Amino acid sequence: LAKPLRHETLILRWILFTTSLLLVNCSQLVVPDIGACSKLDTGFTYPQDKAPKDISAVLTLVTKKINREITNVLNVEVNYDGEDIQSVVGDHDVIASVKRLEEDADKGYTTQCFNITFTINDIDECNLDKSHPMRHQCHSTSTCVNTHGSYMCQCEGGQLAIKGAGTGLCSGEPTTSPCCEGPASTPQSRESCRADFRCPVDLCPGDCVDPATCVSDVIHGTYHCECPDNLVGTGKRCPKGSDRARKLLPDLPEDLRCGCQERVVDPCAGVSCGPNALCVGAKTGEAGHSCECRPGFKLVEKLGCVDERLPTLRLRCANPMVVSQCGAYDECGLEVLDENAEVYQRSVQIDYSRPLGGCLPEVGHYHVNYTVETPWTNPPFVRVTRHVEVVDVDECALPAAPIPTGDDPAPSINCPGCRPRCVPEATCENTIGSYTCRCPKCTRGDGFLPLEDSKMGAKGLPPDYSGGSGCQDVCPPEIQVLGQNPKIFRVPRCVGIGGGSLVP
């Protein structure tokens, strides 16, 4: 009865375009061979109740990981098959096709396939706290039994579910496993089915009218009211609002009646119309039934009953988003509130006006378009836009890069070349989008240490950089006499033998 461990490939589809919107026919998608994809060093591991529960969470995690671990990303292509990772325990491989610039931009770009693994571990829904959103929904007449990746509701002592249990799918079944978890079921329909599963407690609830007696049907988990011979009726009271004109014998004496004389027939008993559809009985005097979409849904060929309301797209994080130059753009993603997420394959598209992942070397205004395919509407998509403002950073306030030794590259913040590289004699001055190095008086040069364009990344060399000549002394030497000038020296007079002075 337990669900087997599943190793499943989820193909999420994100298409990041720079020129035009492309709507994808999911039946024509070419899924990369998982064996041909490079596996990222680390994946994601969650207990079942902490796992991403919808397309929004999965897309955000995948995008952040790709932007964090892969450089020069231009676009990512992912396709989502509509099933929640949270609902199935096991390993799930998300395949992302990434288009990225070559390290040497002149060589163009390359496309690589990456495999990201989500590992989901089972939890025991039967023992979760009553307030937990994933706690079991079994009725008090049944017992919850944990299974691998899910749970089932079970009748004790070999009893069978009552007629109509499990939204009409589980009549006479001992558990919900064979009836609530069919191949066409969805997480929502499985929960509804289990919550509606009922085991017999008292097969005779006391609604039989005198002189009828209650007769239990243990095999089918139900009962019926049996009238004595020669009396006419169902043994039950007529339901409220019943058509009294349909009595089998309108003029039957009161002493020959046994409850209601109407023949009660439910044409929708045991009928399952599929997700978002209801069974509707035929009009009075007609036989049969029909399946109609629930209010607010409409029938679309190959998709079934879909919600007429457009998906709601809610941006996560601030909009507009202000990010400092030399920092990194963190993809917050969006919430896709879509009642039809389980009905068909989804196509989510993200369009960056320029690559934003990893490094933001230039100030300016950029935007990100998020588009969800809605093939039953015109136009067949819903879109929301995030605005990103990259503001200037004062490179001179960042820690200075030490002079590299040998071939060791200088450390950087997020973009190579963001830390100032001025010689010690020069003064760093911030400019809009960059910085410059000012040499002191009586020197000349650009004030920079030698830089290599190949190590500056997308930021490139500073505009005032001229080869890294540093600051060179250009003034002629100045000689200054220290002390008294002219210097006066005094010498003693010489005195002769006769006492007379000698004048020098």
The confidence band for 29, taking pLDDT boundaries of 50, 70 and 90, is very low
C-alpha distance from residue 294 to each of 204, 278, 323 (Å): 34, 6, 46
The confidence band for 101, taking pLDDT boundaries of 50, 70 and 90, is confident
- Report domain extents, the chain: 6-123+308-391, 142-195, 395-479
Q: pTM for this one? A: 0.56
Mean pLDDT throughout 145-166?
A: 90
Distance CA 20, CA 374 (A): 17
**Which pLDDT does position 472 carry in this prediction?**
93
Mean pLDDT throughout 164-193?
A: 87
Q: Indicate whether 24 pLDDT > 60.
A: no
Q: Which residues share a beta bridge with 143?
A: 154
Handedness of CA 66, 67, 68, 69 (dihedral sign): positive
Lowest mean pLDDT among 245-249, 327-331, 460-464: 245-249
Mean pLDDT throughout 437-445?
A: 94
pLDDT tens by residue, 109-143 = 888 888 888 899 999 999 999 999 899 999 988 99
The confidence band for 23, taking pLDDT boundaries of 50, 70 and 90, is very low
Lowest mean pLDDT among 25-34, 292-301, 464-473: 25-34
Q: Dig out the tokens for 495 from the structure.
A: 């005195």
Q: Give the whole-number percent of the chain exceeding pLDDT 70.
A: 76
Mean pLDDT throughout 27-53?
A: 71
The confidence band for 333, taking pLDDT boundaries of 50, 70 and 90, is confident
Residue pair 203/217 in contact (Cβ under 8 Å)? The answer is yes
Pick the most confident of 42-51, 86-95, 104-113, 135-144: 135-144
Q: Indicate whether 323 pLDDT > 80.
A: yes
**Which pLDDT does position 221 carry in this prediction?**
59
Distance CA 347, CA 15 (A): 8
